[in-house]
Amino acid sequence: MPETLLSVENLSTVFTLPGRALLAKSARLTAVSDVSFCLEEGETLGIVGESGCGKSTLGRSILRLIEPTEGRVVWQGRSLTALSKTEMRKARRDLSIIFQDPVASLDPRMNVGQIIEEPLKIAEPKLLRGERRKRVERVMDEVGLAPEMINRYPHEFSGGQAQRIGIARAIVTEPKLIVCDEPVSALDVSIQAQIVNLLKALKERMGLTLIFISHDLSVVRLVSDRILVLYLGRIVEIGPRQQVFQNPAHPYTQALLSAAPIPDPVVARSRERTALQGDPPSPINPPSGCGFRTRCPIAREDCAKDLPPLAKVDADHQVACLFWTEVRADPALAAG
């Protein structure tokens, strides 16, 4: 039975924003709210949702690149949120991240070799310089970077090549978990497939566990074993990929899926459409009860009273909706 590597328990991340006017009160922006899930060894969890829903903040809070406000992150039985800075630095050897903007994430003053080597200096300070160089050259080969690129600088590379450098930097410490934060969204479509295939190959070869953050459902479907749907920083649905994609239980998930492009025009014309009305509410002043109710086509009076808990749909499938059984029985209801 696969080992549970990561357990996120009631995690919340709240930012305090200064008042805009003199003597104005500061505001609290809840980016992540009471999120809990477990991640097994070798699994890929896809996190999806619209821009601004808290996906990236969640990923960075798990790694403590952003300090969470409440809750715990337990990694292999140890609470990361309770570690000192020194202890956390040691733990980061097993934890890594691939950033969204490949060029902006690379230090323009450092060449490729220095960029990839930097995490090694922190994670394994006793490693000899020659051994570090061998490790850098090896991971460059693994991600498809030619040896002669080692002394070149970030501005000399395309977006796809820059992301390969970012991936090499992420795997050089031989981590167990990598958070992939929108790793292909800034790339041309022709390059996206190459990077996705590279990540899938590295996962199999290195036995990686991934958290794959994206707003592109077609990409998430290719790489993920389970899907977590986030809205206003809260989980609205989580479950195995096949169940979430083929039989979604939350109106928001249905809306996201119906908006995703389908290559086959015949299938596209026959698909039931779920239209989202308006923009997401402000996380500074969210609506009472269910955060999705102001855009939901089946919202009722009860939806404004309390936050809906995650209810069990199937063995590993949960949804936060009071009326999910009706939506599941008749998807046309969610289409409005």
Rounded to an integer, the average pLDDT of 205-223 is 96
Domains of the chain, residue spans: 253-336
Which pLDDT tens digit goes with each residue over 157-185? 999 999 999 999 999 999 999 999 999 99
- The CA-CA-CA angle for residues 271, 272, 277, to 5°, reads 130
Answering whether pTM is above 0.75, one says yes
pLDDT at residue 20 in the model: 63
Instruction: Give which of 187, 115, 180, 122 is closest to 154, Cα–Cα.
Output: 115
Confidence of residue 223 (pLDDT cuts 50, 70, 90): very high
Residue identified by tokens 């928001």 is 252
Cα dihedral across residues 64, 165, 130, 209: positive or negative:
positive
Query: What are 317-333's pLDDT values in tens digits?
Result: 999 999 998 877 666 66
Pair 292, 274: CB distance under 8 Å? no
The mean pLDDT value of the chain amounts to: 90
Residue 331 tokens read as 């998807």
Distance (Å, rounded) from C-alpha 42 to C-alpha 316? 17
Helix (H) or strand (E) holding 180: strand 177-181
Distance CA 7, CA 26 (A): 32
Residue 204: partners with Cβ closer than 8 Å, 6 or more residues away: none
118 burial (CB, 10 Å; 0-12 / 13-18 / 19+) is middle
- Percent over 70 (pLDDT), the chain: 91
Band (pLDDT 50/70/90 cuts) for residue 266 is very low
- Is residue 269 exposed (0-12), middle (13-18) or buried (19+ Cβ within 10 Å)? exposed
pLDDT tens per residue across span 129-159? 999 999 999 999 999 999 999 999 999 999 9
